[in-house]
Chain A
Amino acid sequence: MNLEKRRVWGRRQAVAALLRGAMLLATACTCSLAVFIVFYVLAKGLPDITWGLVSTAPSHIKRTIGILPDILNTVYIIVAAVTAVLPIGAGAAVYLTEYAGNKKTVEVIEYVAETLAGIPSVIYGLVGMLVFSGTFGTSLLAGALTLAVMNLPTVMRTTQESLKTVPQSYREGAFGLGAGKWRVIRTVVLPGCSDGIITGCILAVGRMLGESAALLFTAGFAHVLNGFFDGLAGSGATLTVALYVYAKERGDFETAFAIAAILMGLTLSVNILSSAVGTFFKARREA
């Protein structure tokens, strides 16, 4: 009996050790992958980033390559897309949490937003090409509107989450003082959920930075230096699209890695920023 007990215990120990080993191995795999990709890209890309590369436009005459237009295009498209998506996403969230009395409407809109979040970016690119590029031509504006639609669920969801954390008593207090619904939203609810809106924006910017498939056929490939409004009206490649073109179509891996290193740096900063903002607002809320 004692022997039997010991055998069972031994088997249990062995299985547990196996599972623990699998957990550690898998975690090590995940971590080393992340670390490898970051260091590989930075090591290959950083030496190729020169002042000439980031401060000029590509020139056929001088045979030089510059990515300044791509950097500016990325900035323009993100600014335009955030401007478009912020009021719509935040507004939809306000409607869902503050106005909608009908539970069915809330369910439908939330379900639809989830669907929107699952649609792959190629399909956004395709429909964006038909709808937005059909209206505005292949331009940064068409790309920005496509990005805005893609990020609608992100902004909506984060705003909604933080609207739910505004205490009901604040609203009741304001109503009790005789304020109308709009006034309550404007002066009590919106300031209380600014953290959610800002977090949503940062998340959306992060996703826009990395997006490429949706932009190939809506924003185009041009590398021309432009101001903000001319830039929006014309076609232009963002950093991700430029990386694709340099790597896949021109085989210029030095420039591609330089862009990849820049993108990696931006991704890192967006991640750090969003967690810093999260900690900041959490501390403020608890204070």
Chain B
Amino acid sequence: MKKKTQLIETVVHGLFLCLGLITVACVLLITVYLIVSGLLAIKEIGLKEFILGTKWASTAAEPSFGILPFILTSIYGTAGAMLIGLPVGFFTAVYLAKAAPAAVKKVIINLVSLLAGIPSVVYGLVGMLVLVPGIRTFFGVPDGAGLLAAIIVLSVMILPSVINVSVTALEAVPKEYEDASLALGATPTETYFRVSVPAAKSGIAAAVALGVGRGIGEAMAVMMVAGNAADMPSLFASVRFLTTAVAAEMAYSGGLQRQALFSIALVLFFFIMLSNAALNFFLKGSKRG
């Protein structure tokens, strides 16, 4: 009897361990797959030509695989989105965490989580029909689909992540700090920005890292508004991001072209790992601080 119970315990323990290890297996699988299939094309094309080449013509008679345009587009696009989205998100977060009355805060938090839940294709659709024609008439360019449209869509899409993480960080600031500052004669607004914000800076940095990760990784919304021409980026020109470069050609690719798409995914993965590492670093810092 006792032996049987012990056996069951061991089996169940092993089962739960396996379930836990599946997560690890998934990440290993994804990493190994990407590295193995990504390196094939890089080896064939040459790392320098691949990363620094400015011409992408995967289906030409003499194909050329340079992904510098995609890398730069992803960096510019994400940086631009942060430039617009970060101040808006930051100030909204400070207001929500510190200044807003409870009822207002509840409503706005709900609106923000609604923004977070809207599917990226819906953002893309609204961008296609509102933003793209808007940019065309406002700036008088022949086609509104391009880097600027993508930057604006991305800046809206990263808002919820930036706001949520910053609000959590700001709310975790000990009340004593703020009370001390108020008692010394600082106004409430001065207290928020000169005491609470510096105290929550790790968490806010984590929000930035998360926003960057979201921005670099977004594919569908960007694909619908960026135009997808494989040229070097400029603000009003049609551009292709790392994510959309993978998605745009995957359906009909083969041979070296397909392997090159895996290499692009590997480069994208590398960027994501960088932003993840930054995120973890800052989160650890905010737990300690």
Tell whether, in the assembled complex, residue A256 and residue B95 are in contact, meaning their CB atoms are under 8 Å apart: no
The majority secondary structure among interface residues of chain A is: helix
- Cβ-closest chain B residue relative to A96: B20
- In the bound complex, residues from chain A placing their C-beta under 8 Å from that of B156 are 33
Name the distance in Å between B251's Cβ and chain A's nearest Cβ. Answer: 7
Task: Please encode chain A, from 201 to 214, with 1 for each CB lying within 8 Å of some chain B CB and 0 for all others.
Answer: 00000100111110
A76 within 8 Å of B (CB atoms): no
Tell whether, in the assembled complex, residue B113 and residue A30 are in contact, meaning their CB atoms are under 8 Å apart: no
Given contacts A91-B16, A119-B269, A247-B128, contact A27 B121 (CB under 8 A): no
A72 within 8 Å of B (CB atoms): no
Tell whether, in the assembled complex, residue B27 and residue A267 are in contact, meaning their CB atoms are under 8 Å apart: no
Name the distance in Å between B8's Cβ and chain A's nearest Cβ. Answer: 6
- Cβ-closest chain A residue relative to B33: A127
Quick one: which of B88, B89, B114, B243 contacts A267, CB cutoff 8 A? B114
A127–B34 Cα distance when bound, in Å, is: 8
Tell whether, in the assembled complex, residue A19 and residue B110 are in contact, meaning their CB atoms are under 8 Å apart: no
- Cβ-closest chain B residue relative to A253: B129
Name the distance in Å between A81's Cβ and chain B's nearest Cβ. Answer: 14
Tell whether, in the assembled complex, residue B23 and residue A99 are in contact, meaning their CB atoms are under 8 Å apart: no
Quick one: which of A88, A112, A116, A210 contacts B119, CB cutoff 8 A? A210
A54–B81 Cα distance when bound, in Å, is: 36
A128–B122 Cα distance when bound, in Å, is: 23
- In the bound complex, residues from chain B placing their C-beta under 8 Å from that of A209 are 119
A35 within 8 Å of B (CB atoms): yes
Interface size class of B (residues with CB under 8 A): 35 or more
Name the distance in Å between A265's Cβ and chain B's nearest Cβ. Answer: 11
Which residues between 223 and 280 of chain A lie within 8 Å of chain B, taking CB atoms?
Answer: 240, 243-244, 247-248, 253, 256-257, 260, 263-264, 267-268, 270-271, 275
B70 within 8 Å of A (CB atoms): no
B15 within 8 Å of A (CB atoms): yes
- In the bound complex, residues from chain A placing their C-beta under 8 Å from that of B275 are 118
Quick one: which of A22, A41, A213 contacts B220, CB cutoff 8 A? A213
Tell whether, in the assembled complex, residue B187 and residue A119 are in contact, meaning their CB atoms are under 8 Å apart: no
B237 within 8 Å of A (CB atoms): no
Tell whether, in the assembled complex, residue A182 and residue B220 are in contact, meaning their CB atoms are under 8 Å apart: no
B230 within 8 Å of A (CB atoms): no
A18–B279 Cα distance when bound, in Å, is: 30
Q: Which of B23, B128, B159, B265 has the most C-beta atoms of chain A within 10 angstroms of its own C-beta?
A: B23
Tell whether, in the assembled complex, residue A26 and residue B9 are in contact, meaning their CB atoms are under 8 Å apart: no
- In the bound complex, residues from chain A placing their C-beta under 8 Å from that of B218 are 120
Which residues between 17 and 35 of chain B lie within 8 Å of chain A, taking CB atoms?
Answer: 17, 19-24, 26-27, 29-30, 33-34
A256–B279 Cα distance when bound, in Å, is: 36
Given contacts A126-B250, A209-B119, contact A247 B159 (CB under 8 A): no
- In the bound complex, residues from chain A placing their C-beta under 8 Å from that of B112 are 30, 34
- In the bound complex, residues from chain A placing their C-beta under 8 Å from that of B220 are 212-213, 240, 244
A168 within 8 Å of B (CB atoms): no
- In the bound complex, residues from chain A placing their C-beta under 8 Å from that of B117 are 206, 210, 267, 270-271
B80 within 8 Å of A (CB atoms): no
- Cβ-closest chain A residue relative to B129: A253
Name the distance in Å between B155's Cβ and chain A's nearest Cβ. Answer: 10
A20–B37 Cα distance when bound, in Å, is: 52
A129–B193 Cα distance when bound, in Å, is: 48
Tell whether, in the assembled complex, residue B118 and residue A213 are in contact, meaning their CB atoms are under 8 Å apart: no
Tell whether, in the assembled complex, residue B163 and residue A271 are in contact, meaning their CB atoms are under 8 Å apart: no
Name the distance in Å between B254's Cβ and chain A's nearest Cβ. Answer: 13
B50 within 8 Å of A (CB atoms): no
A8–B48 Cα distance when bound, in Å, is: 57
A99–B19 Cα distance when bound, in Å, is: 12
A91–B21 Cα distance when bound, in Å, is: 10
19 contacts between A and B (CB under 8 A): A20-B189, A27-B91, A27-B92, A30-B111, A30-B163, A33-B159, A37-B115, A40-B126, A95-B17, A116-B23, A116-B27, A120-B268, A121-B219, A122-B217, A122-B219, A209-B119, A213-B247, A217-B251, A264-B118
Query: Which residues on A are within 8 Å of B, measured CB to CB?
Result: 12, 15-16, 19-20, 22-27, 29-31, 33-35, 37-38, 40-41, 44, 87-88, 91-92, 94-96, 98-100, 105, 108-109, 111-116, 118-127, 129-131, 149, 152-153, 156, 180-182, 185, 206, 209-213, 216-217, 240, 243-244, 247-248, 253, 256-257, 260, 263-264, 267-268, 270-271, 275
Query: Which residues on B are within 8 Å of A, measured CB to CB?
Result: 5, 8-9, 12-13, 15-17, 19-24, 26-27, 29-30, 33-34, 37, 87-92, 94-96, 99-100, 108, 110-115, 117-126, 128-130, 156, 159, 163, 187, 189-190, 192-193, 213, 216-220, 223-224, 243, 246-247, 250-251, 261-262, 265, 268-269, 272-273, 275-276, 279-280
